[in-house]
Structure 1
Amino acid sequence: MLRTRGAAAALAGLLLALLPAAGPAWAHNGKLKLEVAGDGAAGVTVQARHADGHQLETLVRLTLTATAADGRAVGPAQLEPAREGHGFYATGPILTPGKWRVTVRAPAPHTSQATAEVQARAAQSAPAQVPAVSAAKRGGAPQTTLSSWWRPVVLGGLAVLAIIAVVWLTVRRRKAREDTGKP
């Protein structure tokens, strides 16, 4: 009888220890909430969350299909996880400029689908680099920029502060020894 109670208590303790770890997995079975948007250029971004709003902790293989207003089609293409964190996905440049109807689907067990209108734009190029003109070509003296003089000033200031701190600690210790009468 005592053995049975001990075994039952051990089993109950084990169940209570494992139950909280299994709880979140049970709570999030089902559909996902998918938010589809353009990335400002020719790509698509998706944020996937559980239907109850909790963050998606596992990798889900989302697929994208897109149809342009003139009939052009893209996909199905698999979305890759983005660096922004769990539940964020991005395509990179996949669309050509124009208006697109984008549909993203999640497979079972999270069978979900979301559709959005996305305006794809051509990526902007970086401004043209203007070559630097030397002081000799300008006919003037070389200019001192902020980046060329601040490092020595900061390093000198730090060195002065370090010297002050060492002197202050030395004087303080010497005074403490004199007050206690120790050599």
Structure 2
Amino acid sequence: MRRRPPPRTLGWRALVPLLCALFLAAGLVPAAPAAAHGDKIKLAVAGDGATGVTVQATYQDGHPVDTGVRLVLTATAEGGRTVGPLQLNPAGEGEGFYTTGPVLTPGPWQVTVTAPKPTPAEVRVVVQARAAQAAPPAPAPDAAGAPDPADTTTWLWWVAGAAVALAAVATLGALLVRTRTRHRP
């Protein structure tokens, strides 16, 4: 009767690549964003310096909200004026930033920003909306028509550049003449 060999088992050499493949595969699977940071978010609401509102949304651990969250803004001013409800759009400043654009009129506003489930949040703040400032006017030319002092030195840079280029050409020419005269028989 012929004897059968014992069944083969996985040795350490085969187990190490298998474990490495499992760790790599686990790293490629995306985690659920809310599960990684908790299910609540913090909202920091402020005016944008003019007639808009900006909101920074972060998780409880301080990381910015990296997926779009639905934020709704309502605002009330003196005299019963209201704005909203408005859904906020993600802003170009980075992850977790939202903006309204110019929606308020100048003056104090009671602003409320809410986020519905699954990441519930609500913040109420007073925002002082201000009239947007215009860009400063361009400087007027001198009454005498004199050029700008910064433009009067531009020609000096051209002269300096030409002098450097001329010196470089002269040096190369001198080196070329010197090496040719050394190698003559």
TM norm structure 1: 0.70
Give how far 1:84 is off.
2.0
Tell whether the 8 Å contact from 1:41 to 1:93 is kept in structure 2 after alignment: yes
For 1:144, which of 147, 160, 163 is the aligned residue? 147
Of 140, 143, 160, the match for 1:157: 160
Q: State the distance in 1 between where 2:172 and 2:67 align.
A: 55
CA distance in 1, matches of 2:105, 2:47: 12
Q: Find the partner of 1:116 among 115, 125, 131.
A: 125
- Structure number with bigger Rg: 2
Residue deviations 1:85-140, cap 9 Å, x none? Answer: 2222221211122221111123443332222111112223456778758xxxx6x5
C-alpha separation in 2, matches of 1:103 and 1:10 = 55
- Using the TM superposition, give the Cα deviation of residue 28 of structure 1 relative to its aligned residue in structure 2, in angstroms: 2.2
- Report whether the alignment pairs 1:68 with 2:77: yes
Q: Name 2:23's counterpart in structure 1.
A: 16
2:101 matches 1:97: no
Q: Matched residues in 2 for 1:165 and 1:2: separation?
A: 77
Superposed displacement of residue 70, structure 1 = 2.8
* Conserved? CA contact 2:38–2:60, under 8 Å: no
Q: Which consecutive residues of structure 1, in runs of 5 or more, have no partner in the other structure?
A: none
Whether 2:54 is the aligned partner of 1:45: answer yes
Q: Secondary structure at the match of 1:117?
A: strand
Q: Contact 2:55–2:97 (CA<8 Å) still a contact in 1?
A: yes
Measure the CA separation in 2 of the matches of 1:67 and 1:151: 56
Structure 1 residue 20: Cα displacement: 3.8
Question: Is the 1:80–1:91 Cα contact (8 Å) retained in structure 2?
Answer: yes
The answer for the alignment partner of 2:94 in structure 1 is 85
**Contact 1:39–1:45 under 8 Å retained in 2:** yes
Give 5+ residue unaligned stretches, structure 2: 1-6
Alignment size in residue pairs: 174
Normalising by structure 2, report the TM-score.
0.70
Cα offset, 1:60, TM superposition: 2.7
Deviates more, 1:97-106 or 1:32-41: 97-106
Greater CA drift, 77-86 or 149-158? 149-158
Which stretch shows the higher mean deviation, 123-132 or 100-109?
123-132
Q: Give SS of 1:115's match.
A: strand
Instruction: Report if aligned partners of 1:67, 1:100 keep a CA contact under 8 Å in 2.
Output: yes
Q: Say what the alpha-carbon RMSD is for the aligned residues.
A: 3.6
> Structure 1 residues 156 and 67 mapped into 2: Cα distance closer, same or farther (>3 Å)?
same
Report the alpha carbon displacement of residue 55 of structure 1 after superposing the two structures with TM: 2.8
Name the SS of the counterpart of 1:70 in structure 2.
helix
